Amino acid sequence: MKLSDFDYPVVKNLIAKYPAEPRDSAKLMVVHRSTGEIEHRTFADIHEYFKKNDCLVLNETRVFPARLIGRKEKTNAKIEVFLLRELSKDEHLWDVIVDPARKVRIGNKIYFSDDLMCEVIDNTTSRGRTVRFNYDGDFFKLIDAVGQTPLPPYIKRDAEESDKDWYQTVFAKTVGAVAAPTAGLHFTKQLLGKMKKKGINVTSVLLHIGQGTFRPVEVEDLTKHKMDSEYYEIPPTACIAVNRAKDAKRSIFVCGTSTVRALESSVTTMRQLTPARGWTDKFIYPPYDFKITDKLITNFHMPKSTLLMLVSSFAGYDLTMKAYKKAIKEKYRMYSYGDAMLIL
């Protein structure tokens, strides 16, 4: 398949600027792969599609306020520094994107507060830089105080204080993502409690989502696209839960494309999940043989995105495009703060 196959018209007034409140009041489109049937429900109803001893896998990554606004020494020019990933904890080195890039050169120092500054030590791309932070205290506590929630570029508004909670799943645990695993934003603690009470085994893996999730694919030939590497961990507890469900012929429900990529990056030849930690650049596009994922919970994704390609791999291209046309017709809210889809 080609990049142009995954295009569709964006309806700007359907791009959600704010989340549904409460979280589980979002719409839920239920897509049945076996029949092509499409249902329209509410996310709070999702537990009805699970059976006892099914397994739900979540991504426990926690978003940090990665967008920092600082002032350049001497000129006092306003500079935005967007944190991408930590290169060295001991040396406080980070990969970042700066804006405006033309004003940021090697050797420049940028101040964010009395306790936090960085020095530019290398150019990586036209907008990319490597910086060394200098600070007193706990780094993530400092950026919690001065940083902004890294809302996706298609949400055309400034981040607000409420986004610090809304752009974070209720099960977020390990700090490291610059984008939320958005399918998980719809879960409430009450809904997860109801599912556990029903006998559904809820487990977690980790994949720190990077800004590459929003990077457009720029090659028509998908085999030539290279994904950005993202850190992931598959703990033994998740392997036990997933493999036990598989052995018992129960369904594995996977929440989010990031969780799918983590799981599908650590599979044995016997199609069992195995513990792992490291970096993955796994790119899933049609056709693809899913080894772990039986059912998929996801949001509605941007055209030509690697996320849409993964969903098309799972649901089938024609059914995915049919579902997206129906979503637009039925005025589903799109993208990170938008509504959800359950693919059975």
Cα–Cα distance between 202 and 195 in angstroms, integer? 8
Question: Is the Cα dihedral 168, 169, 174, 179 positive or negative?
Answer: negative
What pLDDT, on the 0 to 100 scale, is given for residue 212? 79
Cα–Cα distance between 321 and 303 in angstroms, integer? 11
Q: What is the DSSP letter of 53?
A: T
What pLDDT, on the 0 to 100 scale, is given for residue 104? 94
CATH superfamily, with its number, for domain 67-146? QueA-like (2.40.10.240)
Cα–Cα distance between 236 and 184 in angstroms, integer? 22
Cα–Cα distance between 306 and 283 in angstroms, integer? 7
Three-state secondary structure call for residue 202? strand
Positions of the chain with pLDDT under 70:
none
What pLDDT, on the 0 to 100 scale, is given for residue 216? 83
Residues of the chain with CATH 2.40.10.240: 67-146
Q: Does domain 3-63+163-343 have CATH number 1.10.10.410?
A: no
In this prediction the pTM is: 0.93
What pLDDT, on the 0 to 100 scale, is given for residue 107? 95
Closest CA to 262 of 95, 60, 88: 60
What pLDDT, on the 0 to 100 scale, is given for residue 109? 96
Cα–Cα distance between 195 and 201 in angstroms, integer? 8
Token output for 53: 């001893």
In terms of C-beta density within 10 A (0-12 exposed, 13-18 middle, 19 or more buried), how is residue 24 classed?
buried
Closest CA to 139 of 98, 210, 88, 75: 88
Q: Which residues of 202-220 are buried (b: 16+ CB within 10 A; e: fewer)?
A: bbbbbbbbbbbbbeebeee
What pLDDT, on the 0 to 100 scale, is given for residue 85? 87
Residues of the chain with CATH 3.40.1780.10: 3-63+163-343
